[in-house]
Amino acid sequence: MALKSTIYKAELQITDLDRNYYQTHALTIARHPSETDERMMVRLVAFALNASEDLVFAKGLSSEEEPDLWRKDLTGAISLWVEVGQPDEKRVRRACGKADQVLVITYGGRVADMWWTQNTAALQRNDNLTVVNLPVEQTRALAASAVRNMQFQCTVQEGELWMIVDGESLRVAPTELLTPAN
């Protein structure tokens, strides 16, 4: 018998000073049986950093054809494809062919560093790819705050994200590893 996803609810009050975006999002997050709290919270961070009315969680781990998050325009074209973790280079290459922009958010400390070292040359060939890394201490602190019903106040300023949960402030400072050459 297949295990079912666990449903989490999150309310994100987002103040993105970098993009002048101010909105509250009520999110339903399906946590795949093989997914950790840390990975689920990194998906939540990915949403907060790229929030818009048309950004949605996709099937991610459950599908080879869909990312963790994506944004589509009114014609169905994919404007943003977001992968979390250390995806296979071929998957990233296919995503770069399907979407206007692709964002890979890595985490996990040494594992993420090894993935980056092994894939740097191949990933640099994609001109619409951004790769960022989240520090392991920060993603583990976020994982510790995961509960079935969550409320966060999120502030994005100068590329950093501050999340306030239960009166505690958590900082997430992505490091850019690769950005598209314009």
The residues spanned by each domain of the chain are 12-178
Q: Which amino acid is at 72?
A: K
The rounded distance, in Å, linking the Cα atoms of 61 and 59 is 6
Q: Give the three-class secondary structure for 152.
A: strand
At residue 17, does pLDDT exceed 90?
Answer: yes
- What is the DSSP secondary structure assignment for residue 102, as one 8-state letter? E
Q: Do 89 and 96 contact (CB within 8 A), yes or no?
A: no
Q: How many CB atoms lie under 10 A from the CB of residue 6?
A: 13
At residue 151, does pLDDT exceed 90?
Answer: yes
pTM greater than the 0.95 cutoff: no
At residue 1, does pLDDT exceed 60?
Answer: no
User: Stretch 172-177: mean pLDDT, rounded?
Assistant: 96
- What is the DSSP secondary structure assignment for residue 146, as one 8-state letter? -
Domain 12-178, second-level architecture: Roll (3.10)
Q: What is the pLDDT of residue 5?
A: 82
